[in-house]
Chain A
Amino acid sequence: MASILSRPPQNIPNSGYFQKPCFFNRVSSAFTLSRVEIFGPVLTISTFRTPQEAILKANDTAYGLAAGIWSEKGAKIHQVATALKAGVIWANTYNKFDPTSPFGGYGESGFGREGGRHGLFPYLETI
């Protein structure tokens, strides 16, 4: 069973749609919680033993906007980044943006890219 690992005390307004940040652990791939894009301060944590298992879990969703890899080994970053189905992959960093770097997702995460040369393509008649 998943459980809420941590829900730090935080003052949030009484009215309106607000959610305290929370972390869920022991979340399996079958949970809706780990399969949909939750646009809120919710983090689900699941574990893996091999990079292969992590890749399977990461790709087991209809979405693919962004992914993150943390590793000391550059070769492993390349290997995992190649296998992940996501439009943006951050390695040893997260949520980095740059006007020259295309941003956008695979599958149900949407159409097209913003930024970089690939962000310009839709505005061009030919290449």
Chain B
Amino acid sequence: MSKINKTIKLFIAGEFPRTESGRSWPVYFYKTNKIFAQLCKASRKDLRNSVTAAQGVQATWAARSAYNRSQILYRMAEMTEGKREEFKQILEKTIGMTKVASEKAVDEAIQAFIYYAGFADKYQQILGAVNPVNGPHHNFTTLEPIGVIGLFCNTKFNLGKLVAHIAAPISIGNSVVAVLAQEGAAILAPLAEVFATSDLPKGVVNLLTGELDELLKPMASHMEVQAISCQTHEVHILGEVRTLAAGNIKRVIPPTGNEVLSLEVLRGYLEVKTVWHPIGV
């Protein structure tokens, strides 16, 4: 990709730090097996720092108007379009995608940003309700963000799916700590720059590269993480996540299919609030 030796940094609280552990591991050119770049191998402390950042900014982000969140997500689509070549290069060089496949993958990522940008100011009307209760009450149900979402991605990399599972929760006002493991993790470089240049408040999205086995437990048992989205098809991992998540009753969002542009996905990242408002008295 580049002629200079490069370590792809983490993305925590809007900054690009190296892992505090100083560890890295190489990502190779798919064809030649030469080193493409170094990736940071995030530690538990990096993960906890990310959660602190995500938690700190979440309420402010949720307080933004739906329209503003929508605009910011749309800008992410624009930024992705601008970095199309960089995304494609990484997909082709590190995981051996064909030009056609990488083009399609970037298209899907852009579509995911646009789809959830569109729904940011519409999901409330579609999924909310006014409930016909018996008695003098205006009873209505609104959708609220859950809080901090921990996201684990499939080791079989799918850019559109990754972007959808970041765009959907943040469109509602959640913040996200995503762990990209193994295949395709080098995509963090352009993706982090998309978030960093889209007017997204610092800390709403945090991206880590690291090992699932090391980071899964601290994420699933972290008391400040309110939901965990396990977009991996490794069943033993899902079982372990569910057990650890029970500690603070985290919502566990099981793997969705590849159909990631749907209200069904959005609904996984919502909390439901019902208000009984008096009428007349």
Contacts and interface: CB of A to CB of B under 8 A. Distances in A.
Interface SS majority for chain A:
loop
Interface in A75-90: 77-78, 81, 85-90
A118 B249 contact: no
Contacts of B263: 127
A54 B249 CA distance: 25
A46 B281 CA distance: 26
Size category of the B interface is 20 to 34
Given A98-B139, A126-B264, A108 B249 contact: yes
B129 interface: yes
B264 A88 contact: no
Given A102-B141, A121-B267, A126-B264, A62 B248 contact: yes
A58 to B, nearest CB: 13
Contact of A91 (B133, B135, B276): B276
Given A62-B248, A98-B133, A78 B277 contact: yes
Nearest to A100: B131
Interface string A104-127: 101111110100111001000011
Interface SS majority for chain B:
strand
Given A107-B248, A107-B249, A111-B249, A93 B137 contact: yes
Contacts of B278: 74, 77, 91-93
A80 to B, nearest CB: 10
B197 interface: no
A121 to B, nearest CB: 7
Contact of B276 (A74, A89, A118): A89
Contacts of A111: 249, 251
A74 B273 contact: no
Contacts of A28: none
Interface in B258-281: 263-264, 267, 271-278, 281
Contacts of A118: 129, 141, 272
B275 A104 contact: no
Residue of A78, A110, A113, A116 with most chain B CB atoms under a 10 A cut-off? A116
B132 interface: yes
A96 B248 CA distance: 27
Given A108-B248, A110-B249, A74 B129 contact: no
Contact of B134 (A74, A77, A98): A98
17 contacts: A62-B248, A74-B278, A88-B273, A88-B274, A89-B274, A89-B275, A90-B276, A91-B275, A93-B137, A100-B139, A106-B271, A106-B273, A107-B248, A107-B249, A110-B249, A113-B272, A121-B267
Interface of A: 62, 74, 77-78, 81, 85-93, 96, 98, 100-104, 106-111, 113, 116-118, 121, 126-127
Given A96-B276, A101-B139, A102-B141, 11 more contacts: A62-B223, A87-B271, A88-B273, A88-B275, A91-B277, A93-B137, A98-B134, A100-B132, A100-B139, A101-B133, A111-B249
